[in-house]
Structure 1
Amino acid sequence: MIRQTLLAGVALTAFAGAAFAQDVTLKFAHYAAESHPGHAAAVQFAEKVAERTNGAIKVEIYPANELGSPPEQLEQTVLGAIDMNVPTHGGLDKYEKAFGTVMTPFAFGSYDEAHKVLDGPFSDWAGPKLRDQGLQLLCHWEYGFRNITNSKQAINAPEDVAGLKLRTPPELQIVAALEGLGASTTQIAFPELPNALNQGVVDGQENPIGVIYHYNLNDFQKYLALTRHVYNSMVHVINRDTYDSLTTEQQTILMEESCAAGNMMREAVQKQEAEEIEELKARGMEVTEPDLAPFAAMMGDARARVAEYSGQENMDKFLSFLD
């Protein structure tokens, strides 16, 4: 179902309806592998937009970090060199701190809970804030709960994480969660991660199941623990000036098809996770499902770090959505 709360909040500007009556090509960069549901969602979005605009809007897709690392892609979208991108909340919080609250460790207990918060009160509150940063929020897509892999030992309890050297993206929330469990962390660009794992620069890493599976990280990692320590989603954004230059009808089409693509991706990610875990086992990974309560109980300092980073007022607002 199209997310009505987001569509109702679309702000139409004085530019809407003025430009792009003729054909326009939009560059859409993302970091998902071409076999990942994120790319399938991007393809669906591009096809539907072209169909509904009678070819007036063509979307060119650049997958798998073709146009740079995720932070570089987002920066180029803010600057207008790229038109669309799907950063995580941890990428967006470099521009708007309110987005940093979403990745609070163990904030959500299920996909349904996360979707209800993000599609409704969170987007109504935080979405408009991106306008000041040169971006327009379209819709929340999916990525998944993040899990730890390593080459040293099975993880059944928090103490099994202590002492591991783990790669993380440059996102404070993830760093805080893993360090709260006693791991040491280092930031390595994702395109360099397989080589770093292969050479033993780090013992392990953490990512959603789909990333671990589609990028074959099992080639370098023996152990997978379903820790679900942070929830992540791709957030479909477009350069603000590009969006404002579209007609009102075109803006509506982009918003609707972004939400439709995101819904498709959500269903695909959840459906495929169980299958991908079984396949990772077949590839030789040892998979554990630890009791998460002891992990969550160790997140006091991590949550305090996230609140300090995001702003306590922002954190209080986010927590009110969870209540």
Structure 2
Amino acid sequence: MTKAALSVLATLLSVSAISSIQSAQAETVLRLSHFAAETHPGHIAAKQFKENVEKRTNGEVVVELYPANELGAPPEQLEQTVLGIIDMNLPTQGALDKYEKAFGTVMTPFAFSSYDEAHRVLDGPFMEWAAPKLEKQGLVMLSNWEYGFRNVTNSVRPINSPDDLAGLKLRTPPELQIVAALEAAGAQTTQIAFPELPGALTAGVVDGQENPIGVIYHNKLYELQDHLALTRHVYNSMVHVMNKAKWDALSGEEQTIVREESVAAGNLMRKLVQEQEEKELAAIKESGVQVTEPDLAKFKAKMGPAYERVSEYSGEENMKTFLGFLEN
């Protein structure tokens, strides 16, 4: 076992011990872990979820929050949720597709043209189709939250066309859809755990990275980069999931409260992300970062190989179903 894994295990054991003590004071303790910074809308929404669940259950359900990768990198957090060590998590679809390939379709490059379109599809036909599939993997899908359209930063040159990506080494999460999109556009990619990203940028291990505006801002990644291109190459969101065994242990009333407050928290995060993006982008520009708005049609024209890779990974039938949601 690696030192990192031992550290995560030790933290989780400590969490379990604390929760055991608190369980004596509450009927149920739910541990919610996520990767957003404490200033990010994702954590603000998580705090609302905690406060409202505890209030509506008269303290019989207590929610413990562990933000900013406190319990390990995102893949580790999700694995611990599947195993029941952590009760709730906020992974992206790119993490969930490791357990259910249907989720891999959501991050198809340039699938959505707007937040409204993404929300309509994900809250409606996609959730009706994919949620039952996820339960077979031991996870209950409570609601869709937000994350945003992803954009590229680097410290080499401004990006105005796919040609400008040629030769750049960009960090991505371990999600094939993002890798496929950037490589189809001409970049080189490498996977580095998010907690290690600032150090990798500082040391020049990679030229740049890609993330939603909110992540770039709240994690101060823009302070380590000279250029930001609004490529909007992939949309994804946090997905509020819960260990199924822990969900089944809740009463019917508690399940209703948890799901309703999950939806409310997701709506809050969506509102905050969209409201703050313009201000965050202005602050990034004021810091001296050069911001470009490339012609996205040129990037879309390069996505043929990426679409093939995503379809093969997610399954052709899954992709066909997902594309059908976009047409309606």
TM-score after normalising by structure 2: 0.92
Q: Secondary structure at the match of 1:107?
A: coil
Report the alpha carbon displacement of residue 281 of structure 1 after superposing the two structures with TM. 0.6
The corresponding residue for 1:74 is 78
Q: Secondary structure at the match of 2:78?
A: helix
Report the alpha carbon displacement of residue 66 of structure 1 after superposing the two structures with TM. 0.2
CA offsets per residue over residues 162-198 of structure 1, 9 Å max, x none?
1100000000000000000111100000000000000
The corresponding residue for 1:201 is 205
The corresponding residue for 2:278 is 274
Q: Secondary structure at the match of 1:170?
A: coil
The corresponding residue for 2:16 is none
- Separation in structure 1 between the aligned mates of residue 95 and residue 306 of structure 2, nearest angstrom: 18
- Separation in structure 2 between the aligned mates of residue 300 and residue 221 of structure 1, nearest angstrom: 29
- Separation in structure 1 between the aligned mates of residue 134 and residue 75 of structure 2, nearest angstrom: 16
Identity %: 69
**Structure 2 unaligned regions, length at least 5:** 1-22
Corresponding position: 1:93 with 2:97: yes
Q: Which amino acid aligns with 1:307?
A: S
- Separation in structure 2 between the aligned mates of residue 239 and residue 254 of structure 1, nearest angstrom: 13
Aligned partner (choices 283, 303, 311) of residue 307 of structure 1: 311
Q: Which amino acid aligns with 2:259?
A: M
- Separation in structure 1 between the aligned mates of residue 294 and residue 277 of structure 2, nearest angstrom: 17
Report the alpha carbon displacement of residue 260 of structure 1 after superposing the two structures with TM. 0.3
**Structure 1 unaligned regions, length at least 5:** 1-19
Report the alpha carbon displacement of residue 232 of structure 1 after superposing the two structures with TM. 1.1
Report the alpha carbon displacement of residue 284 of structure 1 after superposing the two structures with TM. 1.2
- Separation in structure 1 between the aligned mates of residue 262 and residue 28 of structure 2, nearest angstrom: 18
Higher deviation after alignment, 167-176 or 156-165: 156-165
Q: Secondary structure at the match of 2:136?
A: helix
The corresponding residue for 2:14 is none
Q: Runs ≥4 in structure 1, deviation > 2 angstroms?
A: none
- Separation in structure 1 between the aligned mates of residue 91 and residue 44 of structure 2, nearest angstrom: 16
The corresponding residue for 2:245 is 241
Corresponding position: 1:210 with 2:214: yes
CA-based RMSD? 0.9
Aligned partner (choices 146, 151, 156) of residue 152 of structure 1: 156
Aligned partner (choices 99, 107, 110) of residue 103 of structure 1: 107
- 5 Å-filtered alignment, 1:218-229, equals 218-229=222-233
- Separation in structure 2 between the aligned mates of residue 218 and residue 47 of structure 1, nearest angstrom: 32
Q: Secondary structure at the match of 2:149?
A: strand
Q: Which amino acid aligns with 2:46?
A: A
Q: Secondary structure at the match of 1:266?
A: helix
Q: Secondary structure at the match of 1:51?
A: helix
- More contact order relative to length (CA 8 Å, sep ≥ 6): 1
The corresponding residue for 1:284 is 288
TM-score after normalising by structure 1: 0.93
